[in-house]
Amino acid sequence: MPVLALPFPVIDPVLISIGPIAIRWYALAYIVGILLGWWYARAIIRNNRYWGYVKPPLTLTDFDDFVLWVTAGIILGGRLGFVLFYNLPHYLANPLDILQVWHGGMSFHGGFIGCVLAVTLFAWKRGIPVLSLGDITCAVAPIGLLLGRIANFVNNELWGRVTDVPWAVMFPGAGPLPRHPSQLYEATLEGLVLLVLLAILVRRGALRWPGLVTGIFAVGYALARITSEFFREPDPQLGFLFGQMTMGMLLSIPLLIAGIGFILYARSRPPLSPTTGA
């Protein structure tokens, strides 16, 4: 065991409890992530400079109404994704456990699919460009990823692999050996780095090519997740699928391919301009 291994900073996963009602840090991360994403999305829509000084393809009211749709997509898609991708035999044998979301179990890739459905259906219903709505959603999504991964660390879950690096952490329940704080690696790569990258691209006019921000988000997340998976302990019910491949890596490959496709498509189209319109 390395001399400099850090003890886990034990934090009660329940932020506040009032009788039978408990507010957990993980739930708070979802709530704050959605609210901050909502605020940031409104700022993006209001700034005509980001759209090449043309009228944005959706209004603030459109996005306000969309928030409920995307929240449902995140929760339902994330839960169903976890059930299907990570522990299907257990839930087939215990179907009522699917409803017990307070015990944990959410999948980013399932949540992403839920968001795609929410974006597509809402855009169709309102008659607004699906790619532009997707771009705004992806531009703000890393906020939730950042807070969610920090909540994973607070909850003492999704530990990293055993290591001897000086910043290794002794996680309660993870055995006697120190491990990578892989939740914080993911918070940094999937959250902070991706948020800053997309913010820079938005400021430089990436929204003028509908689908470009979506594609860069998909590629950036896929690469960040695959990288982080080399430091993260595989889910115990799955382990390694083959070789060093994990479920997180496997699910990120089609996301990576789709992201490249979105980027190529977006760059093959003329940008939004006062003559082409939004």
Q: What is the pLDDT of residues 44-87, one digit of tens each?
A: 999 999 998 888 999 999 999 999 999 999 999 999 998 988 88
pTM over 0.85: yes
Comparing 60 with 277, the larger pLDDT belongs to 60
**128-176 pLDDT, tens digit each:** 999 999 999 999 999 999 999 998 998 888 899 999 999 999 998 888 8
Summarize the confidence of residues 207-229 as an average pLDDT. Answer: 97
* Cα separation, 262 vs 215, whole angstroms: 5
- Where residue 20 falls among pLDDT bands split at 50, 70, 90? low
For the chain, what are the domain ranges? 6-268
Three state DSSP letters for the chain: CCCCCEECCCCCCEEEEECCEEEEHHHHHHHHHHHHHHHHHHHHHHCHHHHCCCCCCCCHHHHHHHHHHHHHHHHHHHHHHHHHHHCHHHHHHCHHHHHCHHHCCCCHHHHHHHHHHHHHHHHHHHCCCHHHHHHHHHHHHHHHHHHHHHHHHHCCCCCECECCCCCCEECCCCCCCCECCHHHHHHHHHHHHHHHHHHHHHHCCHHHCCCHHHHHHHHHHHHHHHHHHCCECCCCCCCCCECCECHHHHHHHHHHHHHHHHHHHHHHCCCCCCCCCC
Comparing 82 with 273, the larger pLDDT belongs to 82
pLDDT at position 95 is 85
Contact 260, 219 (CB under 8 A): yes
- Where residue 42 falls among pLDDT bands split at 50, 70, 90? very high
pLDDT, mean over the chain:
90
